Amino acid sequence: MICFPNAKINLGLHITSKRPDGYHEIETCMVPIPLFDALEMILDPKKTSFQSTGLEIPGEAKDNLILKAYSLLKKDFPSLPQLQIHLHKAIPMGAGLGGGSADAGFALTLMNNLFDLILDDFFLEEYAATLGSDCPFFIDNKPKIARGRGELLEPIDVNLSGSHLILINPGIHIGTKEAYAGVKPAPPKVNLVELIADRSRWKDELVNDFEESVFKNHPEIAHIKAKLYHAGAYYASMSGSGSSVFGLFDEKPKKMEWNKDYFFFERQLT
């Protein structure tokens, strides 16, 4: 059985407070985009194995969120059979696009179907939340306002159909510690739900709180955003904690020249 985990972008991202457990409270709108990994699972009579192709995945295979998702279900359903798992990685990692979280969320859904567990989305989201803050989003995989650590989800009507998306990742690694170190948590100055409903306000009011410090430390990322606006984007922003930057256009812009080492993705959204 095969599925295609997709990336996400953030429309606005506010760090609203720091929690006693060390995590931060956030508020953001997450929207799926058509940039995909490929995940295949096949029953195996002998043992569970994991392999990957495509972009290199750092770290030990045993630490991959997909295997952690399998172990999580295996704990509650001991009779689950063994699996051959193959992931083809195309979504850049550590890029603010939720690629690892998507793989974990889609793995839970895929195993739910493959093993006929008949778990509804609520239970899958509960499992996903133990794997990572963004993981529950990818169970329903529709535009959502995310609060809490990112696991408290509220549906929102966001229609980007007809927009042309350009996504750039310059390959700059921004660690979680660096990203949060430059942010002073504060209550949002705007109502995000109302703001999302009025696209004319996005450019001036829909902000990602990570941008100020990240742009100061990495001017190259700020330059990418400025270039997207110069090309006619109606909205451009860094996604998550970076370093990916996306632009949304009413129509496909004229060809822009980018550093050949950048990851580049564009698509007409439907």
Active site residues: 8, 134
CA pair distance 239, 48, nearest whole angstrom: 34
The Cα-based distances of 13 to 82, 131, 190 in angstroms read 39, 21, 11
Give CA–CA dist 209/111, Å, rounded: 36
Tokens of 92: 């850049």
Measured distance between the N- and C-terminal CA atoms of the chain, rounded to whole angstroms: 26
- Burial code (b: 16+ CB inside 10 Å, e: under 16) for 58-92 equals eeeeeebbbbebbebbbeeeeebeebebbbbbbbb
CB atoms within 10 A of CB 28: 24
Task: Classify 63 as helix, strand or coil.
Answer: helix
User: 221 phi and psi, to 5 degrees?
Assistant: -70, -40
Put the strands of the sheet holding 49-54 in their side by side order. 2-3, 38-44, 82-89, 49-54
Report the C-alpha gap between 23 and 82 in whole angstroms. 35
**Dist. CA 81–CA 47, nearest whole Å:** 9
Sort strands 38-44 and 49-54 into parallel, antiparallel or unpaired: unpaired
- Enter the DSSP assignment of 87: E
